[in-house]
């Protein structure tokens, strides 16, 4: 699935303030390496339905035994082993005996201290990664990717040095410290890298599974169809602590939602909820909805947070136009796209914005192979496009009670004509301040 930098930013997948990002929300990794692997995975939403279903199955396997998959390999252990390979250490004897072992400890005391400490952590890592292979073999209908990991772990752990290390329980003698550390230092680095990569991948999957459990996400059902389709029940935004949910249905016969409502009524949240859910689905994760069916999409494109560029001398409106142009050129390829547009042409006057918006809408509705959600304050446009059979009209209602705005955040059929800007200006006493000048 194709997602550009603007879309990642618009949907707050990573974001400048990371604590308010989707990545931060689902990050339950236990190691730095696992965290970086999770970040990389989140830049690789799948383009293959088989891969998505494999990932769903892997997460379900982890969820079936979360405690078992909480492997006893700490971030500290991983850091110690990586430091062992990065450190400058005097040559470790290959065949330590009682004499040269004592001499090494005496003559290379700082190195020996690091070596001895590292060997214990290597033992913990080998035991943990061995337990991982057993977990995979015990899983019912484990996908090929997991079985491949188990096979590689088992193959690497056949080395006699590792077999003896797995079975060792008592403290290490000086000779044993040097024996094992020599093996790890000079014969194990590439294998360690491979095993670490496997563990980091599993740590990232564990994080995704924990997010599914913690936020009560549900795995979506992918429908194999050449035409785009989304149907979601009780969908909501994963970043909100107390979200309001909606039902959404988009299909070739009704592939365009024309969304209206006042400021703060919930339009942007609705649009982002849909975008994030479709994105998470293509990662193989559960989604913030009670039920969701969808087809594979070739990409998501958003037009939400456009900015001007002072350095290049580009106005806000110019960048809006460029984003629309890129959208048209991108989605006019016969592939399935989800296009999310929030408040088109805010950078020009109302009459100009209406004319430009109408031109864009009348063009986009010709593309039946993609799905669109477009929000606007310009509800008058609805009259011009109401006869298009593939456009559905939705709005968020706002009411005033005791001189206060009330937002239901409920999605309704129709077009809003709420104009509450002046009311907000007055309720915040800005008008009063201006009159007192």
Which tens digits make up the pLDDT trace of 268-311?
999 999 999 999 999 999 999 999 999 999 999 999 886 655 43
Taking Cα atoms as reference points, which of 257, 223, 227, 222 lies closest to residue 334?
A: 227
183/94 Cα distance (integer angstroms): 8
Taking Cα atoms as reference points, which of 208, 198, 363, 375 lies closest to residue 279?
A: 208
Structure tokens at 433: 């301040």
- For residue range 212-241, what is the model confidence (pLDDT) as tens digits? 999 999 999 999 999 999 999 999 999 999
- Distances from the Cα of 237 to the Cαs of 93, 130, 223, in angstroms? 59, 39, 23
Treating both helix axes as pointing N-terminal to C-terminal, what angle do 75-86 and 109-138 enclose, rounded to 10 degrees? 130
Query: Which of 1-5, 66-70, 156-160, 405-409 is predicted least confidently?
Result: 405-409
Q: pLDDT at position 43, please?
A: 96
326/303 Cα distance (integer angstroms): 10
- For residue range 323-368, what is the model confidence (pLDDT) as tens digits? 889 999 999 888 999 999 998 887 777 888 889 889 999 999 999 8
Q: pLDDT at position 234, please?
A: 96
CB 222 within 8 A of CB 296: yes
The overall pTM is greater than 0.75: yes
Q: Which domains does the chain have, with CATH numbers?
A: 31-214 (1.10.1420), 221-435 (3.40.50.300)
Query: Which of 183-197, 239-253, 310-324 is predicted least confidently?
Result: 310-324
């Amino acid at each position: 699935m194709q997602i550009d930098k603007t879309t990642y930013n618009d949907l707050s997948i990573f974001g400048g303030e990371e604590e308010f990002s989707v990545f931060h929300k689902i990050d339950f990794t236990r190691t730095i390496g696992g965290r970086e692997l999770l970040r990389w995975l989140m830049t690789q939403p799948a383009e293959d339905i088989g891969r998505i279903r494999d990932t769903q199955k892997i997460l379900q396997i982890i969820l079936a035994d979360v405690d078992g998959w909480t492997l006893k390999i700490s971030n500290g252990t991983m850091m110690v082993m990586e430091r062992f390979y990065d450190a400058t250490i005097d040559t470790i004897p290959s065949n330590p005996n009682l004499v040269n072992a004592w001499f090494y400890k005496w003559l290379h005391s700082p190195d020996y201290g690091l070596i001895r400490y590292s060997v214990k952590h290597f033992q913990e890592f080998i035991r943990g990664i061995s337990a991982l292979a057993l977990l995979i073999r015990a899983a019912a209908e484990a996908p090929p990717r997991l079985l491949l990991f188990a096979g590689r772990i088992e193959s690497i752990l056949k080395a006699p040095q590792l077999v003896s290390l797995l079975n060792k329980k008592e403290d290490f003698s000086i000779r044993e410290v040097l024996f094992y550390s020599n093996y790890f230092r000079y014969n194990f680095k590439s294998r360690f890298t491979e095993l670490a990569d496997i563990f980091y991948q599993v740590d990232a999957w564990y994080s995704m599974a924990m997010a599914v459990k913690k936020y009560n996400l549900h795995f979506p059902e992918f429908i194999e169809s050449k035409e785009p389709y989304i149907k979601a029940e009780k969908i909501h935004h994963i970043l909100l602590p107390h979200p309001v949910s909606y039902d959404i249905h988009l299909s070739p016969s009704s592939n365009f939602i024309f969304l209206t409502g006042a400021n703060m009524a919930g339009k942007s949240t609705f649009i982002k909820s849909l975008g994030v859910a479709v994105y998470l689905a293509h990662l193989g994760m559960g989604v913030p909805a009670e039920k969701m069916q969808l087809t594979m999409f070739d990409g998501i494109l958003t037009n939400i947070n456009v900015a001007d560029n002072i350095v290049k001398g580009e106005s806000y409106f110019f960048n809006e136009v460029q984003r629309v142009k890129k959208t048209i050129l991108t989605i006019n390829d016969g592939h399935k796209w989800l296009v999310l547009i929030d408040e088109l042409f805010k950078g020009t006057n109302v009459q100009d914005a209406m004319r430009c918006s109408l031109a864009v809408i009348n063009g986009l509705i010709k593309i039946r192979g993609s799905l669109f959600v477009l929000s606007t304050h310009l509800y008058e446009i609805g009259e011009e496009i109401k006869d298009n059979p593939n456009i559905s009209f939705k709005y968020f209602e706002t009411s005033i009670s005791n001189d206060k705005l009330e937002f239901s955040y409920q999605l309704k059929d129709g077009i809003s004509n709420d104009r509450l800007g002046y009311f907000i200006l007055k309720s915040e006493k800005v008008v009063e301040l201006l009159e007192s000048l």
